[in-house]
Chain A
């Protein structure tokens, strides 16, 4: 089954956007004045981004804090936290702070089909999250096709086999010459057990370009988090949408507790690199 690459907005989103265009004409002629809103009562929250891959590491957990909405400062790193990861089989590793806010675990093997739990104790408060590392999806094939005859521009497509009977989620990253061009999220509700082909990545490759595909398999919670990141409507579009249609995507769905933002994801990664010619 073919999966089209993902545009930023689905037709449903764009229909909603266009729909409100007329109304926004009217709204845009209304009054706009800056007002002072005191947000200090909301304080700051901890942001934890942690990952563990199916290799020896190093695995990183980055801890920062939120800054006030209108701040132009850098995101402050949170030091001195007590961070550890355990694998549900009695193995536990403590992460060491190598840079301010960046905690690292080395020589700890991530193994598929185990559930990993992150624990971070920051200023006396305890944050935890669990993530199951799935059986990895394996890249079967990368095919190359000329866009139009006679021209050396190629389109690449990727295929892999979905595991039947279990829920599979993954993130596909596409790099051209070392730069990330696009990413796609996949879930197998309609394609369980089938051969999946991804094409139309919206990237054309020329001769001697290096194409890298990264297939990152993770659990449902990670999928939902990255999905909600994609759904996050940035402020400008929200101006049109949120005032008229209830926007229900607020804070991305996180698997962290205690009011922390961010995520903890245990994933299995497969890479494929190819020089185009």
Chain B
């Protein structure tokens, strides 16, 4: 056999020569074969060692078959572990959730299946020294590609944006909620997901998306039929009351109020607030509300972002908010996020309806006090719409109801007008223009006339820079003015007239950015700049004692920068922390006086010009820790500054309800509040329970000194004194959300205190509105598909007042001896209201209400009379029935 290997060799076929020849060739051949085999083996290296070169245990080299359809990675790993009987060590948190994978492998080494499961997850396996498998995040792998799904969520029928819709991935807890304009943005790793859109009162919507590029997903939700849906207060739907970070926040929409009984049958957003724990009304029918022991001027009331300086009509019996024009109401009594600032105790954020984008609608009603009409519809279908909503009183009916013989000609009316238009320029830009105009007029026999009213206008522009950065830019104008004129009666010899005026204007520029970085991080930052102009008082008197007192017009600027980060630290812990820096500048002209003769010259200071500035940092932190799927703990801390003050804190409609800015003497009010809460859903999400404790510390509180001449004191600051305040308490709320019978029970046990060196000899005393116990029950029962029954019962501790406990004589004059400030408690207040609502087939409804159904004469005031055995108790309302008819088409 001749083997030729080139010319240099020829084989001798003799055995010995063959042997020699083969011997000479075997070495290189063996070497080649070994080398090739080794090459082959090294090509199989990943299958038998980990990325560090440690060999894989033999058990995982066995071949298996593995089938899996649409399972999450976590599930796949569990099944894998069971099947191979090999334990995998790993930290749960590194396993991405929500991804779904499908695997179909036959007869491959088990380790190959694990690699397939981990493909694209950024996770590697490592063989430990003891031969165990550990799963770790691979550091040198390329970052998983992420994409964003974003869009707007709207009501399917009207096109109105749905605020606070919850959007989350079906199998996990990652999600977000839509902002005030219905916009949401969620950034996730590439993959296939089922997104759920959930909003209370609307049908749940699920959509599947393939996130292999940025997706724009606008969604419309369908309402659940109103007739079947019981009234409820959504403190953020189902489990999001559990997950939402906003502690002490309550949201509701006005349609939920329509069946609740109300005074004179006129449903009122502001007055309904007091059925919730932590919120109290100053007095029956009175203006203002108090949140957690704070004064009634410490609430920031916003209507489409415009501050409303005096939110009540006619001495506080009705608020200025017409429910027909309102879409959403949010009350934050705990730590408000940094984008809100300016008031100590609460934020009441009210959003007007935008107007039906699809078709024309009108609704309205006639009630005991108001007649109402709202018209809305598209200007250009699905692109632009408007809404006009107005209501006015029946002046004559009202006065006839209360008039006694004395009242001849009198003027009494008040009205509210809400206007709004919006325009969707394109997919990235929207414009909104809203306005509110309201007025109260009160006049008596030509002797005096009283006018006051609010006016607001807001121009907003939503702009989407990209699918992660949203801007809301606003220009806001707000004004409140008051005037009163007193003239002598026609046949009176006097010719003195007195005219008192005050007003406040504010012009605001606001830029509010939201940056949705990814599923775990959202940033909110921006600025707010307010230009104020105050006229705290102008008094002009003509006639015998003519004089003119004009307090200097005061200009002020309130600028703030804010930044907040919402961070889902872990599956259970969500943090929302931020900072607001606010700076206040006041520029005041001198006061001017001009008098010919002064009667009863009051003591006042002539104030010269003044320029003062104040600034401060307001940290805000809230945290939400989910204990399990149905309960959570929340904690919050906030600091707030307040630079405008309403010193009188009394009934609206008097000339002393004046807003004044901080000054050299009147420093900004400061409040620090810490709160903690526990939330629990149970009974299959039918019931919600929450308990919250709070402690609030207030500084630079303002009050009048004893003997102050009130009307002028608000003008001249001489009789003001400063002190501190404190409030603490615990609030409970239990809600039943579904079923024929629904409603809630709220209870609060709290204490509020004030302490001023100049008042009550420096001893602490309770403010008038301090309420030890405050208990409310609201119940709704769907009797039939047409009839609904509703009842409210409230019970609360009476006001703290100062009363005369005795009398004595000085210099021949008999004088009343008063108790310490607010040392006496009026009798407890309790009242039951009931109402029946009948809804016709086409959605019109009648409401029959009985306010104060068992006619308890709750003390509005106590009058102590000389030489009378007992004081008189003044009570306002008892058994007040009312009917209202509401239509819509």
- Partner-B contacts on A (CB < 8 A): 2, 4, 6-7, 10-16, 18-23, 25-37, 39, 42, 44-45, 47, 49, 64-72, 75, 187, 189-190, 224, 227-229, 231-232, 235, 238-239, 242-253, 261-263
Contact = CB atoms under 8 A, between A and B. Distances in A.
A235 B813 contact: no
Contacts of A30: 860, 874-877
Contacts of A25: 402-404, 406-407
B707 A224 contact: yes
B67 to A, nearest CB: 79
Contact of A11 (B407, B599, B603): B599
B808 A27 contact: no
Contact of B870 (A14, A34, A235): A34
B810 A6 contact: no
24 contacts: A4-B598, A15-B486, A18-B448, A19-B484, A20-B654, A32-B863, A33-B857, A34-B870, A34-B871, A35-B827, A35-B862, A37-B871, A39-B805, A45-B808, A66-B805, A66-B806, A66-B817, A69-B805, A69-B816, A70-B867, A75-B809, A243-B861, A246-B710, A249-B708
Interface residues of B, number: 84
B651 A263 contact: no
A227 B600 CA distance: 12
Contacts of B600: 6-7, 10-12
B802 interface: yes
Interface centre among A14, A31, A66, A243 (most CB of B within 10 A): A31
A252 B806 contact: no
B809 A47 contact: yes
A18 B447 contact: yes
Nearest to B286: A244
A11 B707 contact: no
Contact of A235 (B444, B865, B873): B865
Given A31-B875, A31-B878, A67 B707 contact: no
Given A68-B806, A244-B654, A249 B706 contact: yes
Nearest to A49: B810
Contacts of B863: 32, 235, 238-239
B654 to A, nearest CB: 6
Given A16-B710, A69-B871, A235-B863, 17 more contacts: A10-B600, A10-B602, A16-B711, A19-B654, A25-B402, A30-B877, A32-B863, A32-B875, A35-B871, A42-B819, A71-B807, A232-B813, A235-B864, A242-B861, A244-B315, A244-B651, A262-B810
B300 to A, nearest CB: 23
B707 to A, nearest CB: 5
Contact of B707 (A34, A49, A64, A253): A253
A245 B447 contact: no
A20 to B, nearest CB: 7
Interface string B763-805: 0000000000000000000000000000000000000001111
A29 B864 CA distance: 18
Closest 5 CB pairs of A and B: A10-B600, A66-B806, A42-B805, A243-B861, A34-B870
Given A6-B599, A25-B406, A235-B864, A245 B650 contact: yes
B140 interface: no
B223 to A, nearest CB: 41
A120 B859 CA distance: 41
Contacts of A39: 803, 805-806
B442 interface: yes
Given A22-B410, A245-B650, A67 B807 contact: yes
A66 B873 contact: no
B545 interface: yes
B648 A245 contact: yes
A206 B407 CA distance: 43
Interface centre among B444, B719, B859, B874 (most CB of A within 10 A): B874
B315 A23 contact: yes
A248 B868 contact: no
B290 to A, nearest CB: 15
Contacts of B500: 15
A29 B597 contact: no
B393 to A, nearest CB: 14
B42 interface: no
B808 A65 contact: yes
A249 B707 contact: yes
Contacts of A32: 863, 872-875
Contacts of B710: 16, 245-248
Contacts of B16: none
B545 A67 contact: no
A268 to B, nearest CB: 18
Interface in B694-738: 704-712, 719
B392 interface: no
A44 B813 CA distance: 18
A255 B152 CA distance: 70
A36 B869 CA distance: 8
A2 B863 CA distance: 40
Interface in B514-546: 541, 545
Given A4-B597, A4-B599, A28 B810 contact: no
B13 interface: no
Interface centre among B705, B802, B807, B817 (most CB of A within 10 A): B817
B75 interface: no
Contacts of A37: 803, 862, 870-871
Contacts of B876: 27, 30-31
B7 interface: no
